[in-house]
């Protein structure tokens, strides 16, 4: 009965239409937007990959490859970038309602189109590989090629000044802790690879196991296939339509079994990894102060004094409760160049002494030449870190203007858009904070979305990662949970606990296995507590970095190299 439904489904998509491609894109985006449906990502790409197999098959003639991939990319990224709507009306940017609407729509559709280009190239690249012969007698090469090309598309999405890895398949799994432990081996891109490969194997298995639906109604093989067999001099006894169908079914079963082994193997590794706890160098208590101040309150007249008093009051209450070794505030919670306001620094230092704790504070830093979005460490003895941590991955149009000269001439409205009202300079090093309990690596907002900042901090000796963020721009959209998901992946990749403080939430204490120990509510002023362990061990990923992306690239390039046939 179930088999009949599959055959009916394949018969209907014998020439797959746009609806299947779009449905696949929307369902995959839904798995990222709603992480409780994370398992959906393991099957949501099947309709799209079935379409790829159909369209890239050399025997089917020319098909709209670029258009198919681009359509998938749009249906995938438009839902993912829907959070831009939460930015409207961009009051802090000083735009009129119509200008703000134009900027939001340009960001939504423009970035969706831009990010769709790598996915539009994926079917074209796959067709090129098909012509190189990966399909002929090599059942598993095509699914492997699709998964490798997917990883290269994800990598391209994170390049250039507008790049960000917002559509990583791995992010959909951050609530499914067992399934992301393999990120400690080869990074989150390896988790994305496993998901893409699982979908590709199932799609290949379904297509081949029910290959007779592609045959004609009389059970005869396609004429093109018969002609090729005759021209190759194959024996008609060995290559009858019946034997060919049996071979296709056999290959289909192999693909489905490989998919099952892949998923169970990843799950088994997760179970083993979760039960292996490395010895911590120290265990400390932490507190996160979530001030929940709106953008207008922070950057309005006198906002810096309002924010300072608010965070100081919430922190002072901690001294009357259970002690905390580390207190984490949030990104730019004191919206001033802090090293230029000694009286403000003095008040925070006194509070650190009263609480007998290290306080990490988000503010700005000026070195005499450039401005930075930074994190300062105030110590229990009343001193402050000699060098603050400076954010390394800045937000385009929010913290700096990419290609400002070109934008000014082409789109004056965009050239004037800068949510922070000044251009920041990216930091260049990890600036690890040394404390009595261990080395703490600082991260700010977008730093946590990319792998490199956290990786370099761990390589420079960080035993704990503190991520300060301000997600008030995104209101209550899914973007805040997406940012939390990336923080979970950074924890697993590097084997480090992550303490994430966000102005309006979601603040969280995440252990080194990616388990969220405690998390705050959105849009509430609260203090959350937890205990975290500090570690000095290194995961395989923290040693080799993003090696898997390079492996995927070399794999694809290797398939493109022509192989000379030996002559007798």
306-351, pLDDT tens digit by residue?
999 999 999 988 766 678 999 999 999 999 999 999 999 999 999 9
pLDDT at 247: 64
468, pLDDT greater than 90: yes
d(CA 418, CA 534): 38
Task: Give me the torsion for CA of 275, 279, 281, 282, rounded to 10°.
Answer: 50
d(CA 170, CA 31): 10
Element (H, E) at 290: strand 282-290
465, pLDDT greater than 80: yes
Q: What is the mean pLDDT of the chain?
A: 85
Hey, which of 12-21, 94-103, 231-240, 408-417 has the most confident mean pLDDT? Answer: 94-103
pLDDT at 475: 80
Cβ atoms of residues 430 and 457 within 8 Å: yes
Which token pair is 488?
Answer: 């979970």
pLDDT at 488: 98
Mean pLDDT of 390-410: 72
d(CA 68, CA 49): 11
Query: CB under 8 Å to 58, separation ≥6 — which residues?
Result: 127, 130, 131, 135
Helical segments of 401-530, H only:
404-410, 412-415, 451-459, 479-494
pLDDT-based confidence at residue 231 (cuts at 50, 70, 90): very low
Residue 128 burial class via C-beta count within 10 angstroms: exposed 0-12, middle 13-18, buried 19 and up:
middle
The larger pLDDT score, comparing residue 272 to residue 138, is at 272
pLDDT-based confidence at residue 417 (cuts at 50, 70, 90): low
Diameter of the chain measured on Cα atoms: 92
172, pLDDT greater than 70: yes
pLDDT-based confidence at residue 200 (cuts at 50, 70, 90): very high
Mean pLDDT of 242-265: 83
* Residue 376, CA distances (Å) to 354, 415, 450 in order: 18, 31, 21
pLDDT at 227: 45
* Residue 112, CA distances (Å) to 89, 119, 131 in order: 20, 11, 30
Tally the C-alpha atoms within 13 A of residue 477's C-alpha that lie toward its C-beta. 17
450, pLDDT greater than 70: yes
This prediction's pTM:
0.88
Helix 18-33 × helix 65-80 angle, to 10°: 30
């Amino acid at each position: 009965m179930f088999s009949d439904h599959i055959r009916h489904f394949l018969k209907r998509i014998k020439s797959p239409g746009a609806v299947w491609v779009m449905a696949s894109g929307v369902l995959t985006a839904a798995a990222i937007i709603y992480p409780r449906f994370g398992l959906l990502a393991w099957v949501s790409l099947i309709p799209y990959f079935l379409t790829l197999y159909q369209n890239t098959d050399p025997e089917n003639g020319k098909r709209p490859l670029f258009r198919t991939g681009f359509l998938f990319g749009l249906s995938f990224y438009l839902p993912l970038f829907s959070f831009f709507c939460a930015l409207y009306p961009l009051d802090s940017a000083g735009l009129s309602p119509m200008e703000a609407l134009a900027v939001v729509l340009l960001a939504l559709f423009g970035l969706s189109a831009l990010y769709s280009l790598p996915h539009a190239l994926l079917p074209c690249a796959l067709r090129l590989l098909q012509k190189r012969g990966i399909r002929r007698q090599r059942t598993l090469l095509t699914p492997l090629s699709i998964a490798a090309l997917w990883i290269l598309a994800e990598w391209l999405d994170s390049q250039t000044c507008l790049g960000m890895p917002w559509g990583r398949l791995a992010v959909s799994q951050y609530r499914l802790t067992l399934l992301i432990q393999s990120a400690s081996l080869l990074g989150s891109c390896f988790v994305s690879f496993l998901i893409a490969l699982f979908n590709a194997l199932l799609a290949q298995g379904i297509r081949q196991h029910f290959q007779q639906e592609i045959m004609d109604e009389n059970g005869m093989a396609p004429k093109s296939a018969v002609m090729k067999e005759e021209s190759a001099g194959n024996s008609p006894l060995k290559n009858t339509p019946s034997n060919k169908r049996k071979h296709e079914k056999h290959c289909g079963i192999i693909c489905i079994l490989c998919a099952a082994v892949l998923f169970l193997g990843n799950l088994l590794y997760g179970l083993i990894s979760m039960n292996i706890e490395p010895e911590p160098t120290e265990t400390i208590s932490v507190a996160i102060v979530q001030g929940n101040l709106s953008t207008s309150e922070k950057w309005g007249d006198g906002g810096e004094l309002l924010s300072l008093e608010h965070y100081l009051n919430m922190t002072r209450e901690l001294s009357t409760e259970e002690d905390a070794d580390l207190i984490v505030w949030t990104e730019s919670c004191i919206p001033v160049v802090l090293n230029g306001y000694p009286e403000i620094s003095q008040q925070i230092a006194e509070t650190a002494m009263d609480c007998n704790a290290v306080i990490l504070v988000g503010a700005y830093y000026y070195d005499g030449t450039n401005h930075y979005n930074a994190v300062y460490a105030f110590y229990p003895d009343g001193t402050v870190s000699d060098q603050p941590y400076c954010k390394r991955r800045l937000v385009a149009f929010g913290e700096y203007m990419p290609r400002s000269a070109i934008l000014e001439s082409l789109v004056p409205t965009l050239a004037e858009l800068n949510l922070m009202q000044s251009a920041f300079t990216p930091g260049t090093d990890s600036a690890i904070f040394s404390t009595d309990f261990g080395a703490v690596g600082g991260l700010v907002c977008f730093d946590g979305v990319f792998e490199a900042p956290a990786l370099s901090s761990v390589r420079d000796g960080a035993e704990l990662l503190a991520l300060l963020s301000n997600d008030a721009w995104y209101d209550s959209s899914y973007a805040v949970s997406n940012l939390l998901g990336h923080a979970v992946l950074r924890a697993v990749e590097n084997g480090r606990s992550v303490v994430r403080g966000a102005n309006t939430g979601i603040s969280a204490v995440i252990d080194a296995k990616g388990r969220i120990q405690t998390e705050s509510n959105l849009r509430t002023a609260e203090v959350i507590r937890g205990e975290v362990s500090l570690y000095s061990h290194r995961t395989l990923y923290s040693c080799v970095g993003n090696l898997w992306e390079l492996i995927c690239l070399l794999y694809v390039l290797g398939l493109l190299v022509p192989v000379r046939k030996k002559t007798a």
